[in-house]
Amino acid sequence: MIDRVIQKPFLLWQAEAMVNAPPGVAYAPLPEAANDVSEAEIAVAKEAVAVAVRQAKAQPLTPPPPEADDRRGEAPPPIEHRSYFPRDRALSLVQSAVERYLMEFAPADLLGAAVAGDAERRGEGVAAVADFRLNIDDAAIPDEDSDDRRVGGAFEITDPRWVSSLVAMGWRKLRGQEDFPDEPAEPRKLDSDARLVVVGDWASGNLRAREVAARMREAIEAAAAAGRQCHVIHLGDTYYAGWAYEYETRFLPHWPVRASEEAIGSWSLAGNHDMQTGGRGYYGTLLQDERFKRWQQGSSRFSLENDYWQLLGLDTAWDDHALKGDQAGWVERKLNEHGGRTMLLSHHQPFSAYGGDGQKLREALRGPLASGRINAWLWGHEHRCAVYEPTPELEFPRCIGHGGVPVYTPKPKPPGVRWHLDRSFRTGLEAWAFFGFAVLDFDGPEIAVDYVNEFGEVDYHETIR
């Protein structure tokens, strides 16, 4: 990832450059698949981006955590100025197109690698946010409210026609969204002493996300040494927009399960970023990789089960924040068929203490939740790790979305949350929350859960029973 591309002022500047650019010939060769994009399609894409920019400008910036850097007496900038991953589809497509252009065509003196340093220092040497640095001064980026957001001259960074063509191609794919698979993957047996390694919002491809994968690999190898069955589950989101090349560069090369390890389960739910291009990369690239194909069989929902527990993976992204098709009925039938306890897995949250909303999901599963037959629910989407207190409907609600997106350390702990990951390391003024994942070790009816950070430390342990 390139540092500027995930900064809101730069991204909105480049989005407006795309919107305001007159029709013309691209400065660089277009990707082959974008050559047949029409001017009419580009116009539609530009309008969608223009609307997204207006909405993004109207959104207030997230205030930094309520603590200043004691060394300097200053507060860090809003997170959007350092790590901005818009959930809007149009801006995600712009973000992806701008970065792809820069990676392919930026001059060597404009694009340089960030300093990786020694991760164990957890300080100034760590590439906390991005692996690549765009060498452009802050002064060259117009303020969001500036009228001088021009195209051309010394401030031109990308090729607006190239970017707009790629965005239009993504918009076309979104209109032709992949069909929702009617059938879930066949149920798979979960050993009574199996290990699950669960990570969410991981596929950013940055250095720290790759460190998370290395720690996940250690958990996989420890399971193999102990003779445990092992499954590795991604709760969704490949950045920025779910293009095939993003899976090929950010996900599949770094996934901790090797192609030869046929006995280790690889599973991935769909997240909203996986669906920004209509799910073509998710269904056509990720789920066609043999590691996932042999288990998920092309479906975006699945089940793992033994006598004590059944785990139901849901697709909450094909229909954003909702359950497409007969998933609610499928959950009801699975509950009626299984005599043990049930854990749901999803990308989106059923509720949040941090500002998100899961009303559509709760409504879709109102009956099963009210009956108390859903015992645990693990989700991602929010880029944090949180262990919630039990609710009247759900005994073990857990957010595990801290796999690969840089965020500031959350403070204070909100009501309703028993524990959340608030450990961090500093780079300058910013205190960056640790990345991590969860390891679930089954022992009959009990599940020992370790929440492991990117440095291999266990930050929290609990038992689900």
Q: What is the pLDDT of residues 62-99, one digit of tens each?
A: 887 766 445 556 788 899 999 999 999 999 999 999 99
Report the percent of the chain where pLDDT is more than 90: 75
The average pLDDT across 316-328 equals 96
Report the percent of the chain where pLDDT is more than 70: 92
Tell me the backbone φ, ψ of residue 95, rounded to 5 degrees.
Answer: -60, -45
pLDDT of residue 34: 83
pLDDT of residue 125: 46
Report the CATH architecture of 188-464: 4-Layer Sandwich (3.60)
Distance CA 288, CA 10 (A): 35
The answer to whether 316 touches 365, Cβ cutoff 8 Å, is no
Distance CA 290, CA 64 (A): 42
pLDDT of residue 147: 55
The average pLDDT across 237-258 equals 97
Distance CA 45, CA 266 (A): 35
pLDDT of residue 357: 87
Q: What is the pLDDT of residues 116-163, one digit of tens each?
A: 544 444 544 457 899 999 998 888 887 666 555 444 443 468 998 899
The answer to whether 351 touches 362, Cβ cutoff 8 Å, is yes
What is the b/e burial string over 214-226, where b = at least 16 CB atoms within 10 angstroms of the residue's CB?
Answer: ebbbebbeebeee
Q: What is the pLDDT of residues 168-217, one digit of tens each?
A: 999 988 888 899 998 999 999 999 999 999 999 999 999 999 999 999 99
pLDDT of residue 73: 61
Q: Of 229, 228, 199, 195, whose CA–CA distance to 214 is shortest?
A: 199
Measure the N-to-C terminal CA separation of the chain; round to a whole number of Å. Answer: 40
Exposure of 213 by Cβ count < 10 A (0-12 exposed, 13-18 middle, 19+ buried)?
A: buried
The encoded tokens of residue 177 equal 């969204």
Tell me, what amino acid is at 242?
G
The model's confidence at residue 422, banded by pLDDT at 50, 70 and 90, is very high
Mean pLDDT across the chain: 91
Give residue limits of the domains in the chain.
4-175, 188-464
Bridge-based pairing state of the strands 424-427 and 430-433? antiparallel
The average pLDDT across 437-459 equals 98
